[in-house]
Structure 1
Amino acid sequence: MSRLPSQPPQQEWQLDWKNIQPALSSVRRSMASLQTSSLKVMRVSQLDSDILDSELFTILKEQLWNALSLFNPAFKESIEPELLALLNLALFKLSIYDTSATYGAQLQNLKYRNEWKHGGPLESIAKDAPLTKTQKIIYGVLSVGGQYAWTRTSRLVTSRGWGELDESDIRNKIYRVLQAGEKYWKALSLVNFLVFLYSGKYRTLLDRILGMRLVYSKKSMNRQVSFEFLNRQMVWHAFTVSLRI
């Protein structure tokens, strides 16, 4: 009759670990119910980052138009939505998709985090949950692709005069739906902005839909306005003016 192999004796620390599991579970439940201070991010920094991004886009667009100044103006006008979409796509890829922060946000010591992972007592923890790939892709599709689709559709509707057709015409109905959609989007954006001014979360409506919140990238840095972008803008402006002369 063969003997079963003897089981090795459990180490003392393993027995102690099993014994303290009920106490650890109780501590975890009590920590989850604790009231923590909400995360405060300066609203002016978030708004300044948006202004810096707009200024950067304007500068790049001017450089692009200058590069295309030798072409037929009608050609540039016909493909303007596509050119702006490509420019927006490049900025999105090099900023939010790669680093989870726009260039303006980086200058303001800000970055996006996945706010869906920071509910309740986890809002103010030191480690920020990164954006998921799905969030980034949807953000790019809605911001870049959505803006391009809206611009191109508006041009088509306006050029063909759909708004001046008979009200029973399907094209006139599409025109009215687009106009109503634009009004509702602007109204919701205004409501979101008012909520942002109150709570300091979700600067744009798209950020709120996708759960993308701007937080401090380095919490130990001084919270002050950076003049690096302004200095660069002045240098580039002087450089372009000298080239034109």
Structure 2
Amino acid sequence: MFRSSSNLTTNEPEWKTNWNEVQPTLQKVRRSLASMRTSSIKVMRVSQLDSDILDVELFDILKEQLWSALSLFKPTIKERFEPELLGLLNLILFKLSVYDSSATYGAQLQNLQYRNEQKHGGALESIAKNAALTKTQKILYGLFAVGGQYVWTRLNRYITSEGWGELEEFDPRNKIYRVLQTGEKYWKAFSLLNFLIFLRNGKYRTLIDRVLRMRLVYAKKSMNRQVSFEFLNRQMVWHAFTVKYN
């Protein structure tokens, strides 16, 4: 009875009075939830692998167009500068995708984006505001993925053409050849091990991602995580008809 008269005096609804009373308790609950460590998000492995396949398909399409354009010139240009041309194409794709938007084109189609796991605090959000890739990470990714592939392709082509593997064992060039072959075997072995770990926890798709602590996560949780491949199916059908009747 006393409470009703008080409400009439202050003209304050009863629900508002109750709401103000529980505010201290709600604040304690919010603080406790904020300090709790949240569970890791589950990014589908198939989405990450599909993004890699889409990137390869895009690169093959652009490479085919590049070779078609160079067919109007001397064929020696393609044979002589193929590593440089492919490296330049990879560099352009890297600049327009990973460096500018922290995601490859295939990853964008799969609603994925790279996240800096070193700065990530474990929140449930797919892309935390304070966990974006640093400029150093992007540059190192370009050096490893683009520069490393170009250097290896050019060096391997030069060594093969010069026949370093057929020289005497005591020749320094033959030793360099064997060191490179051994390094390639270790790289493939570690890549296989990383892929098995990726299949288990779905965290780092490649060795470069693991070294640089770059993880693919969902860019927007509200978007559909399944991508329709109808446009790819139509493209494949039209491509088959074009090749057959040309």
The residue that corresponds to 1:109 in the other structure is 111
The residue that corresponds to 1:37 in the other structure is 39
CA–CA separation in structure 2 for the residues paired with 1:229 and 1:103: 15
The residue that corresponds to 2:134 in the other structure is 132
CA–CA separation in structure 1 for the residues paired with 2:179 and 2:173: 10
Q: What SS does the aligned partner of 2:221 have?
A: coil
Superposition map of 1:146-157 within 5 A: 146-157=148-159
The residue that corresponds to 1:184 in the other structure is 186
Matched, 1:194 2:199: no
Could you tell me the TM-score, scaled by structure 1's length?
Answer: 0.80
The residue that corresponds to 1:145 in the other structure is 147
CA–CA separation in structure 2 for the residues paired with 1:236 and 1:206: 36
Relative to structure 1, the CA distance from residue 57 to residue 233 in structure 2 (aligned partners, 3 Å threshold; closer, same or farther) is farther
Structure 1 residue 234 displacement after superposition? 4.7
CA–CA separation in structure 2 for the residues paired with 1:136 and 1:71: 35
Q: What SS does the aligned partner of 2:189 have?
A: helix
CA–CA separation in structure 2 for the residues paired with 1:198 and 1:71: 49
Q: Which amino acid aligns with 1:210?
A: L
Give the one of 220, 223, 243 matched to 1:221. 223
Q: What SS does the aligned partner of 2:55 have?
A: helix
Superposition map of 1:11-160 within 5 A: 32=35, 34-118=36-120, 122-125=122-125, 127-128=127-128, 129-160=131-162
The residue that corresponds to 1:10 in the other structure is none
The residue that corresponds to 2:19 in the other structure is none
Relative to structure 1, the CA distance from residue 203 to residue 229 in structure 2 (aligned partners, 3 Å threshold; closer, same or farther) is farther
Structure 1 residue 198 displacement after superposition? 0.2
Do the aligned residues in 1 keep the contact of 2:127 with 2:219 (CA within 8 Å)?
no
CA–CA separation in structure 2 for the residues paired with 1:91 and 1:146: 15
Relative to structure 1, the CA distance from residue 233 to residue 123 in structure 2 (aligned partners, 3 Å threshold; closer, same or farther) is farther
CA–CA separation in structure 2 for the residues paired with 1:102 and 1:216: 13
Q: What SS does the aligned partner of 1:87 have?
A: helix
Structure 1 residue 64 displacement after superposition? 0.4
The residue that corresponds to 2:21 in the other structure is none
Do the aligned residues in 2 keep the contact of 1:81 with 1:148 (CA within 8 Å)?
yes
CA–CA separation in structure 1 for the residues paired with 2:98 and 2:56: 15
Q: What SS does the aligned partner of 2:43 have?
A: coil
CA shift digits 1:57-100 (9 cap, x unpaired): 00000000000112222221110000000000000000000000
CA–CA separation in structure 2 for the residues paired with 1:166 and 1:123: 59
Structure 1 residue 223 displacement after superposition? 1.6
The residue that corresponds to 1:166 in the other structure is 168
Do the aligned residues in 1 keep the contact of 2:94 with 2:142 (CA within 8 Å)?
yes
Could you tell me the TM-score, scaled by structure 2's length?
Answer: 0.80
Do the aligned residues in 2 keep the contact of 1:107 with 1:228 (CA within 8 Å)?
no
CA–CA separation in structure 2 for the residues paired with 1:94 and 1:228: 25
Q: What SS does the aligned partner of 1:209 have?
A: helix
Q: Which amino acid aligns with 2:178?
A: R
Query: Considering only aligned residues, what root-mean-square deviation do their CA atoms show, in Å?
Result: 2.4
Do the aligned residues in 2 keep the contact of 1:207 with 1:213 (CA within 8 Å)?
yes
